[in-house]
Structure 1
Amino acid sequence: MIELEHVSRRFGTFRAVDDISFSIRTGEIVGLLGPNGAGKTTTMRMICGFLEPSGGTVRVDGLDVAANPVETKRKIGYMPESAPLYSDMMVADYLAYVARMEGVDAEKKIPLLAETCGLREVMHKNISDLSRGNKQRVGLAHALMNDPEILILDEPTSGLDPNQVSEVRSLIKKIGETRTVIISTHILSEVEMLCGRIIIISGGKKVADSPTEELRAQYASTGTVRLLLGGAGADAVRRVLEGVRGVSSCSVQEHDDKLLVSVSAEGEGELRPELARAVLAQGWDLYGMELVRNSLEDVFRALTVGGEQHEN
């Protein structure tokens, strides 16, 4: 289990992480989201013990990471965005080197990792000759060498083509069946497919922490209502519909001889009945009306506007 209690991290006067608290249970796959510079990487480095918090406490399985760095690091495998591989070594030699550094029995462990990470066909190739997807697989094998209980992945599919993304995603799912996994990424489709829970950081602060489906459902009813109207003027439509209770904004575009209207809500609630009544009361023609529900991307944007910082 991972626990952060009122954790902050300053670099000089700059506060990269500001009073963040959350816990992650064993066996969860959690997405850590935020815009560039939000504090995601700093948070992960504090969990791994690479950075000490300026305030608060990080615990892994009940152990304070700052007070017990060796014991807690043994429990964690970390793969940074660009895995630090030795490109002039063969894959087999590199993994043997990592095994020696970790004090692991290479003869037993490396064949298992080659199978788990899909590396059997490239074990005798130089790392410099590998595709980026296979380099990511080698980075995962490195992170898994000491059989960690917790795996932390920073942008694991960054720079991969669609086929490589699919392969690495499947591999992460497989690994996540037996471990706690934290994935830091800005690719929201990846989070939806892999993560059962999402933590969003913006401006160094935690702004959301919910199961993926619950987070989406929470904001689903705050989508945009689109209407196709006839027999009306743009200014009149805007004036009337902005006067409907619960409407925050109304935009109007001409579409052939009709008007395409987009109406946004102030909060949760069903606008369509009130909008329909307002339209019909004016004698306008209503050709169509639909609710375009907010996607996870819309939720992310709403929660993180202005959340970029100058440090990560």
Structure 2
Amino acid sequence: MGIVIKDLTKKYGNQLALNKVSFSIEQGEVVGLLGPNGAGKSTLMKSITNAIIPDNGEILVNNSSVNTNPIETKSQIGFLQENNPLYMDMYVKEYLEFVMNIRGEKKQRVAEVIAEVGLTPEQHKKINQLSKGYKQRVGLAQAILSKPEILILDEPTNGLDPNQIIEIRELIREIGKNTTIILSTHIMQEVEALCSRVILLNKGEIVADQPIEEFKGQYQNLEDAFQALTK
């Protein structure tokens, strides 16, 4: 159970975004997906969610193929994209009820998630009236609304102030107790605080895949490891 990826390859024209990428993530792991801009992280995450169709390779989500069973696998995944696309003219509760109807969830789940992510005081505001931190909470709320077994987070604290970062980090830590998480971020402290393992991509290939403690034993810190392996 979890995610299994075998020989995943994706090209955009002549650019090779992913080159025979293979790894597996066990159920309940919190894995940091790292790499410089253009390394292939977004392509990989979008391939897992079936938003992008790879050229070759196989992706299994809980032993079910993403290619042949896209609806089944999508129902098991929550995804917060980096740009956090939201309907800005909708009210918070209204938007989450809209997502609830799409995902076929029960109405009481919206109230549970609003409380879980700390949106109760803001639920009757329009999304465009919210601060960046609360908008991120709305994005996280829609991602966990269906209680996904797998949660993919792309730069979840992007643009937040230090207090907001701590709040979102604590929320992710709590969610990670019962959920498999792939966390992509450029903030190394976030990875060290939340992840037990790191997969490091560079130029479409995995250059490191190991427990975070092994990185600490080989390098002064995770930033040094990142720089040494992606130059």
**Superposed pair shares fold, TM > 0.5:** yes
Q: How does 1:227-238 map to 2 (within 5 A)?
A: none
**3-state DSSP of counterpart to 1:16:** strand
CA distance in 1, matches of 2:90, 2:47: 30
- Amino acid in the other structure paired with 1:79: L
TM superposition shift of 1:98: 1.1
Within a 5 Å distance, the mapping from 1:116-127 to structure 2 comes to 116-127=116-127
Task: Find the aligned partners of 1:18 and 1:186 in 2 and give their Cα distance.
Answer: 22
Aligned-residue offset at 1:97: 1.1
Q: Structure 1 residue 182 and structure 2 residue 182: aligned? A: yes
CA distance in 1, matches of 2:53, 2:90: 33
Local SS of the residue matching 2:85:
coil
Question: Residue in 1 aligned with 2:228?
Answer: 302
How does 1:103-114 map onto structure 2 within 5 Å? 103-106=104-107, 108-114=108-114
How many correspondences in the alignment? 230
Does the CA contact (< 8 Å) of 2:215 and 2:221 recur in 1?
no
Q: List aligned pairs for 1:193-272, cutoff 5 A.
A: 193-217=193-217, 219-220=218-219
Alpha-carbon distance between aligned partners in 2 of 1:102 and 1:295, rounded to the nearest angstrom: 41
- Mapped partners of 2:114, 2:7: distance in 1: 40
Name the aligned partner's letter for residue 179 of structure 1: T
Partner of 2:27: 26
Aligned to 1:114, the other structure's residue is in SS state helix
In the alignment, residue 10 of structure 2 is paired with which amino acid? Answer: R
Counterpart-to-counterpart distance in 2, 1:47 and 1:24: 12
What's the TM-score once normalised by structure 2's chain length? Answer: 0.97
Q: Give the structure 1 partner of residue 65 of structure 2.
A: 64
What corresponds to 1:132 in structure 2?
132
Which secondary structure state, in structure 2, belongs to the residue aligned with residue 92 of structure 1? Answer: helix
- Measured against aligned partners, the alpha-carbon deviations of 1:173-209 in whole angstroms (never above 9, x if no partner) come to 0110110010011111110001010000001000000
How far apart, in 1, do the equivalents of 2:178 and 2:116 lie?
Answer: 12
In structure 2, C-alpha distance between the alignment counterparts of 1:216 and 1:300, rounded to whole Å: 12
Q: Deviations over 1:194-225 (max 9, x none)?
A: 101000000100000011111221x23xxxxx
Mapped to 1, the partners of 2:215 and 2:5 lie a distance apart of: 21
Q: Distance in 2 between matches of 1:40 and 1:74?
A: 22
The aligned counterpart of 1:159 is 159
Q: Which has the higher contact order (CA 8 A, sep 6+)?
A: 2
Letter in 2 for 1:105: K
* Residue of structure 2 in register with 1:263 after alignment: none
CA drift of 1:96 comes to 1.0
Q: Which position in structure 2 is the counterpart of 1:232?
A: none
Structure 1: gaps of 5 or more residues: 221-293, 306-312
Amino acid at match of 2:62: D
The whole-number CA distance in structure 2 between the counterparts of 1:59 and 1:52 is: 14
TM-aligned CA deviation for residue 89 of structure 1: 1.4
Between the aligned partners of 2:58 and 2:213, the Cα distance in structure 1 is 29
- The whole-number CA distance in structure 1 between the counterparts of 2:51 and 2:91 is 28
Distance in 1, matches of 2:146 and 2:99, equals 9
CA distance in 2, matches of 1:56, 1:37: 20
AA paired with 2:176? G
CA contact (8 A) 2:136 2:156 kept: yes
Structure 1 consecutive aligned stretches of length 4 or more whose deviation exceeds 4 Å: none
Amino acid at match of 2:155: E
Q: Which structure has the greater CA radius of gyration?
A: 1
